[in-house]
Structure formats: structure tokens, C-alpha cells
Chains A and B, each alone.
Chain A
């Protein structure tokens, strides 16, 4: 087995993972508090909770999975299923409506 050649790819400054963990924790607490202890109208509450969940998911993808520092071609692999998924859900909703 050959020894891999030395690293030649460009480097990035490592994110502060503990800070990201803190943000995720705070956002989770806000989510639970909003869901159970607030008097926000239902449709607004759903919107707020979904936005918070998407923000948390993006933080995990960008900083823990290092998508922020990856090449675009790799990001595209992860992004391509999302419009396909939207089409899938929209198509089924349309079928139900019409």
C-alpha cells in the first residue's frame, strides 16, 4: 500500500464548533418554548418553527458537514435532490387538490 502524498489542497480556518453547538441549543430551547408556552396564532407558529428548524439544519450542514468550505460541485450533489423533493411533494398535493 502506498503512502498518500502530502496535503496540497487549500486550507480554511476551522469554525468554532462549541459556539455552533450553543446556537443550536438556544434555538432548540426557543422552539420548544414557542410551541408550548407562547400564544402565537397556529399558522404563524408553524412558520416560525419551520424557519427555526431550517436555520438549525443549515447550521449543521454548513459548519459540521463543512459544506460552507466545500467546492460547488459537491454542494450541488446535496442541493439537487431538494428541488426534486419539492416537485415530488407539490405533485402529490396537486393530485390531492384536483
Chain B
């Protein structure tokens, strides 16, 4: 039976087309792909945070039966490859000078700068032989002093990681109007200051990274299957910039990818190393990270320390906001690493609130730690944490009501569209309405009763809110290509890439809805450089905004061609032909033909007007986003805190999001819930810890706590759908990251509310039981 989806494909919770293969064990992830004559690679990773490599002796390993190739920094140097460049959108210091970009080679040359940095690649006939060989490689290190924390790295006398970066500073940054901010501070009755830590976390997709490379000597072409979120741009970097093999000679494919959350966006070292190895060996080379290596080598996220200052009047009116951030970059510039603490965290400063002046400044230093790169939200979670924490902190310090403070200062609908003080183009939305709906959804009336029930158990209950303002990002262009096959199926290729978000369903849903075709007929292709000429990958909540718009634009172009075919058949002008529910018709006549008729007709020139060629309904179209959209919303959270132990249970969670048009509510809910779970994880559990010498302390799931089923509450999700944006063809605003933008401040605010009777007004994330309990003890002894 064929399923036809609603008109335009919008508004239906279409169940997922990809689920059948995932649910039956037939997904194809990177480690499920094997080629004939395949070899296996493993990486020797540095145990030193900072050291000179005096020598590497691979002779014993090389002599081991079954070892095929060992690559070290010396080999890399000899091969003359270029380093991996950063694509950070912010590239200039405040004074106009260039950011300091040290050479990032995929393998350490002469010196290591973080624990886990690749030092050698071993390729062998089996993984067990690789493991044996790794143990036989003898590296002589000369240890150097190391620094792992960003605040320590910028101090005088700190170990210097790169000669080109004095005081380890890669980049500094400012945005906003410092004069206006200072004036606002002078005019205000109060200036409240709070120092915040946005803890370092790791994305930890359950599928570790991995890749399989195959070189065809006959054609000189490479194929790389890669558990990656960004196939096209990374192909260009790897092929054109680093290996200089020409991007047309690299066919880059992402198979099913088991989660990414940003950590699979960047260009990584290992795939480049195995591209080198496959050519050397003339055999396919497979490399799969294990979990311990993932902790060492997947780019980390967040890790910012900030001083936030809010200026406000006695009546609660916000005047000014100033944020000074130091954001850790790790040992190298990540693919877009330097952008996160600078541009990424700056744009949403001030949130959906009115200010006379906002000023943001950042310093981004190198440290002897794994490089940082985007993790779900990449800067906006930090911004929203700063904004919504300082509001609650100020409320507590000044005896004000945090809900009233927000209510009083939210930008009214009448002020939109507006340019935010940070330059964001806020076109539409209704922040006060979203806020009130969030409060309503969270059943404020029932709170007193719930609090009583909590206290009967001997626990404390708290309520917290956050009103976040988001912006989308990522590549502005996307291509959607439709090809009607002879067997009746429709190939839809889109350049974006899904790592679980459901593109296979929602893009098919859109195409089927636009064209009036059964969704089962659509065969979806993604993340393949041969399938689309360009692709923006995945990131910045851009999937629907850019990819969905590309599908819509392509659909519209197909319909226009179909109209010409119908007009030709009925001998009328094309502008008289209408299209509705999968049928072309000429109003006020009996002339009608289905889209399937038009598709069937397109290959015979007889059926076509002179200006159309056979195959004319096979359309490829590129949509380019002009301006990023502004998702926004309210999060509300209730927690129970055991003051005797400090343990926290999130006991209720409510959200109202303005994502503009909701195309598939089921998928949007899934994105929000998953984001909130990661936000709760960051707030309560997750923490990447390096000790002062640069050793990673949280190197496994035994030390790094990921949320489990009993850590996450049920969440109630609502949408404000009355403000679709005009910035894209669907009116959507981007849903993928919002959950983890709103959750951390909502959770921390709720905990601080629960503990206000003790005088606890701030605790740094993650709010581990010990930190909470100690905060209570400290507050008690101070009172």
C-alpha cells in the first residue's frame, strides 16, 4: 500500500523510513563494511602531554610477521604533505592581525603536544598484530612542562606550546559596543558579577569514529568511507589542501553514522593517514577507534570560563551586559575550533532580552589538551548559560523574582524585526508569549503541592527557567537532486548528512508531499561526493533550514517543468496550468494529468515542448540561505535535591520552542529530547578532566558519566508555530541544538532555587553530589 503524505509534506509525524534497517540489524555503519584483501590500522598515541620526540624505533615492530607498514612523523615530513588548516570564521585579532595557526599535521612531527596525539600508524594483516606491533614501537620522549587549563595557559611563565603564539594566545576577540555597555553600567543601580565555568565535555556518539580507505592504482582514485558528518568540505581539505591529490580523485562517502553531535564534523588525522597508507600498500586499510581512544582523540566541546556582569536598575530593568571569556582551544586550531569561544559564543549574548549596551570579549589560548571543536550548539549553549544564570544570580542577590525579571525585560513582539546589539537579524518570534506558554505548560499552579510532597520525603524542590535565543549556522548552501528512474522509483540526493536526525524520512516526506508521490517510492541518498556536487554536511541545526529548503526548491522547479509538459499536451499556455495534490490541471477544463503521467512523458521528445529536453524533470537545484534563522524558546525544570547527600533528581521538564514551521513533530520532539538529555548530562554528570600535567583523567566510560535511562525525566514539549521565518522556503528555524542550549541553565537555576534557603546561589557544572553538598556546607558556615 502506498502512503501519500500531507500536502507539501508539512505537519505530519511521518514514521521513519530508515528505521526498518536499523531495527533489524541491517544498518551499515563503518565497521560493518569490509573489502576484499583489507588490512587493519591502529594508531600509536602519545602518552605525553608535551614532549620532544628524540627518536622512534620501529625496527622490532616492522619485523613482526604480518606488519605491513608503519608511518611516523619522519615519513610524513619526507612526503611533503601540508598541514590541516582551520576553517574558523573568525581569523583576526582585535588589532587586525591574523590568528596564530600552528601547523597541524595528522601525525606528530618532532614534538607531541597532547596525550593521544598520533605518533605512529601501524598497518597489519589483523588487529591483533597491530596491537602487538604498537607495543614494540619504542619512542624516546623528552618531557616538557605542560599546561592543561586555559586560565593557567595565559599566565606569565606558563609553558609555551607554540613559538608563534606568545602567552599561548591563538586569538582574541570582541563584539558589541563597549562604550554603550560602560554607559549602561554607569547609569544602572546595580552591577552583578558572576564567574562561570562551562565544563569541558565530549560528544561521545555511541559509534566510535572510523574509516576505510581504498586506492585504485589503475584510475589513481581513492575511496574513503568515513564515519563523518561533513563529507564534501572535508574531502576538499584532505584531498586538495593536505594530500594534494585533487578532490576529484577522492570519492568520500559516509555510510550510516552512529551519532555525531558535532564531534564528527571536523577533519581528523586518522582518515588522512590511512589514505596515505592505502596508496603505499595498494590494499584497502581500515581503522576503527576504540572507546578509550575516542576519549583521547574526539574533539572536545565547551570548556570556557567567563566573567559575566549584568547591570540593572532597582525596578529590575536590564541596562547592560558584559562577558569576558577565556575559551580553551587545545593544542591546535580545530577545524573551526577558534570560532566557538569567539564568534560562536558572542552572537546570542543578551538572549531575547532588551539591553542598552552589550559587550563581549574573548581570549582563546592553546593548551596541552586534545583540540576542541563544535559540540552541539558550539557557543550558543555557553551564551545562554551565561545569560540565564546571571539573571537568576542577580535575582537572588537583589531579592527579586527571576520569573518577573525575565518577564520585564523580554523583547516585545512589537519590536521585531530588529537587529540585536550583537548583529543578529531577529526577524520574527514572540518571546513574551513563548515565555508565558512555557510557564503554563509547567503547571505553576501545581508547584506548591509538588513541593510539599518533595519536602515530605525530606528533600528540597526547586524550579528553574531559561529563555534561550539561538541562531543556526553551518554551510549556507545545499543541493537537492531528483532523478526519476525507469522502475518508477525516485532518487533524491541531498548534500547534507544525517547522523540520526531522520533526513531520509523528512526530505522524502517533503518531496513526496510537494509532488504528491507515495513516500515509499523515494530512495534517499546522502553524504556521498558522487551523489551531489556540493554538500554542507551536518551542523548548526541546518538540516531542514538549508537541506529542506533545497528539496522544496527542487520540487518547485520540477513542478514548473511538469506544467510545461502538461501545457504542451493540452495545448495551452503553461501559466494556465495549476498543480495540486499530485495533478496538473487546467482550471475550467477537463484537462488533467498526474505527476506520474508527466514523469512518464518526460523521456520522449514527442511529449515535450521545444524548450525542454528528455529527462527535463530530473532536476538538481542549489538553495542558498541568505541569513541564519533565530530559534528561541523557554525551558522549565523542576528538581529534587537531597541536601544530606547533594544528589539531584530532575523531576519535571517542560519546553516551548519556536522553531517556526514544524515539518515533522515526532522528529522535532526527538531532537529536543536528545538535546535536553545532553544538556542535563553536562549540567549534572559529564566532565572531561585533565590533571595539571595534561594527563586525561576521564579516559573511559568508567570515569566519564553519560546519562542513563534513570537520569533523564520525561519531558513535555510544545511549539510556538505562529512565527514562521521568511529566511528560508519552509519557515523553519532549526531544531537540532536547542535542547542542549536551554537545558544547562534551566537545571542549574532549578537546583539553586531549591538551595536558596541555605544561601546557595551558584554551583559550577557539573553539579555532582559532592559539589552540591559542599556548597550547602560552605553556605551554612558563611551564614
Answer yes or no: are A and B bound together in one complex.
Answer: no
Q: Chain B interface (Cβ within 8 Å of chain A)? A: none
Q: Chain A interface (Cβ within 8 Å of chain B)? A: none
